[in-house]
Amino acid sequence: MKSMSYEAVMSRKNEIMKTAVGIDYSKFEFGKIGFDYEGMMANVAYSMEEMEEIQRRTKVGKTPLFELYNINKLIKKYAEVGKGARIFIKDEAANASGSFKARRAAISVYHAKKKGYKGVIAATSGNYGAAVASQAAQLGLKCIIVQEMYDSRKIGQPEIVEKARKCEAFGAEVIRLTVGPELFYTFLKIIEETGYFNASLYTPFGIAGVETLGYEIAEQMLVLEGRYPDVVVATHAGGGNLTGTARGLIKAGATSCKIVGASVDLKGLHMASDKDFNRKSFTTGHTGFGIPFATQPDRADVPRNAARVLRYMDQYITVTQGDVFFATEALAQMEGIERGPAGNISLAAAIGLAKTLDKDQIIVVQETEYTGAGKHPSPQLTFAKQNGILVKRGLPAENIPGETVVIPEHLGQIEPTILDLNSLKKRYLQNALKDYAYNDLSSEDQNYLADEVKLSIDEVKSLIQK
């Protein structure tokens, strides 16, 4: 009998993951730190045509893309003359489970079925769990979702509770945990006990599944406007959304499209803190995930994360919680579509960006998500007040994560913050080089690092020396 102690299970994590995913990641490693990222993606991914067919069969993909006419008119009111880019939105709530994550789940669950696994398992707080459960239901596989749901008082956010309900509606077994290190331990233990497929957010199957989203955006914009978008804004948390979308755009030929990542600013709140767990109004799409995953992507639940945003991101911006609540209400009351909070992070960012770009430019907000009882602004803000957060109208700059949620009084007050992307790249390089000196690396290792941060070798050298 194998020991199931915390230390014993964690020591077997690579062995457990290899069995549960079916990928020998060591085959792609070279040199001291090098990793053949494209080789891994090419070795295990399906073709675009195959993925589109897989997704079509389970009610995923080919979602509508439309212009936000009323919001665009209002943006021009607050923009300088000649400014005010047009915003289009890709309505991913039309997927089977109500979010873009159905694309990730469709390929992962299909692959699990193809390889003979009896069930799938995922560790997630929400939308991805619902997506995996929806796909598993359609393909006749068992599904277990391990969810970090409560603080130590056994109190969970309305949004997290809503997501658990949706997972169960699709027939999944949901294992609810309190915040803390037991999540990954419990996840590994269940994988080992069941022999189920690890439908991780971060496998090549999941990231490749999102490529169809970027590919569709490019194709649809050609039909609608005769050209590719100038900017695509993607909500950034763990990185799969942005990575997959960018790869799809590139495969479609939209290589000059600017890729912008957007997160909610939750600086100062610790994601593994019991005290801070319920003092945030967003469970994903925030800097508590976005920055760590950008600078140390292999912190994921697989040995190598296929989501590597610094390879693709051209700009990284943050918005406040209040900005997103404003954008959510604007989308409902001006455009007549009610959507959940995560996709509206990128919408809030796009509104701020649009005011600064020329009026003939096009921004695509690449996702929406379903809404539900726990995802509406009202229960989320009520919950915030119950946890001692001051909610008021005013200037977004007055937002203090964990203390206040300040909702703008008008659209003109939404002003995203542009983060220093080079500082994130430098932090990534420092993490990658913690055991080695850069000058001791081979040219192949140095080229790998340059690809990882989307810079030339000379630029990498200069950044390290700063």
Query: Residue 281: what pLDDT?
Result: 92
Helix (H) or strand (E) holding 86: strand 86-90
**Scanning the structure block, which residue is given the tokens 């993606």?**
41
- Report whether 417 contacts 323 (CB < 8 A): no
Residue type, 449: L
Query: Residue 45: what pLDDT?
Result: 76
9: Cα separation from own chain's centroid: 28
With CA atoms as reference, report the closest residue to 433 among 463, 398, 411: 463
Q: Rounded to the nearest 5 degrees, what angle is found at the Cα of 318, between the Cα atoms of 313 and 320?
A: 160
238 assigned to some structural domain: yes
Virtual CA dihedral for 406, 286, 337, 172, nearest 10 degrees? -130
145 assigned to some structural domain: no
- Report whether 338 contacts 331 (CB < 8 A): yes
With CA atoms as reference, report the closest residue to 249 among 235, 224, 232: 232
Integer CA distances (angstroms), 416 to 84, 205, 321, 323, 358, in order: 15, 32, 11, 9, 17
Own/partner long-range contacts of 386-390 (Cβ < 8 Å, ≥24 apart):
387/278, 387/279, 388/279, 389/279, 389/281
Burial of 42 (0-12, 13-18, 19+ CB in 10 A): exposed
Query: Residue 184: what pLDDT?
Result: 86
For 242, the token pair is 């942005």
170 assigned to some structural domain: no
Query: Residue 231: what pLDDT?
Result: 98
For residues 125 and 105, what is the distance between their CA atoms, to the nearest angstrom?
Answer: 15
Q: Domain range holding 212? A: 57-97+207-418
Query: Residue 13: what pLDDT?
Result: 87
> Which DSSP letter does residue 68 get?
-
Where do the H-state alpha helices sit in 387-456? 421-432, 443-453
240-252 helix and 204-225 helix, angle to the nearest 10 degrees? 50
- pLDDT tens, residue order, the chain (466 aa): 789 998 999 899 888 988 999 999 999 999 999 999 999 999 887 999 999 999 999 999 999 999 999 999 999 999 999 999 999 999 999 999 999 999 999 999 999 999 999 999 999 868 999 999 999 999 999 999 999 899 999 999 999 999 999 999 999 999 999 987 788 899 999 999 999 999 999 999 999 999 999 999 999 999 999 999 999 999 999 999 999 999 999 999 999 999 999 999 999 998 888 999 999 999 889 999 999 999 999 998 899 999 999 999 999 999 999 999 999 999 999 999 999 988 899 999 999 999 999 999 999 999 999 998 889 999 999 999 999 999 999 999 999 999 999 999 999 999 999 999 999 999 999 999 999 999 999 999 999 999 999 999 999 999 998 8
Helix, strand or coil for residue 103? helix
64 assigned to some structural domain: yes
- Report whether 179 contacts 53 (CB < 8 A): no
With CA atoms as reference, report the closest residue to 110 among 63, 44, 172: 44
Query: Residue 373: what pLDDT?
Result: 87
Residue type, 186: T
148 assigned to some structural domain: no
What CATH number is attached to the domain comprising 390?
Answer: 3.40.50.1100
166 assigned to some structural domain: no
Helix (H) or strand (E) holding 175: strand 173-178
313 assigned to some structural domain: yes
With CA atoms as reference, report the closest residue to 146 among 202, 199, 203: 199
For residues 209 and 340, what is the distance between their CA atoms, to the nearest angstrom?
Answer: 22
- Report whether 150 contacts 156 (CB < 8 A): yes
The pTM of the full predicted model, rounded to 2 decimals, is 0.96
Domain count, the chain: 1
Residue 66 forms beta bridges with which residues? 89
- Report whether 292 contacts 298 (CB < 8 A): no
48 assigned to some structural domain: no
Virtual CA dihedral for 95, 98, 103, 104, nearest 10 degrees? -170
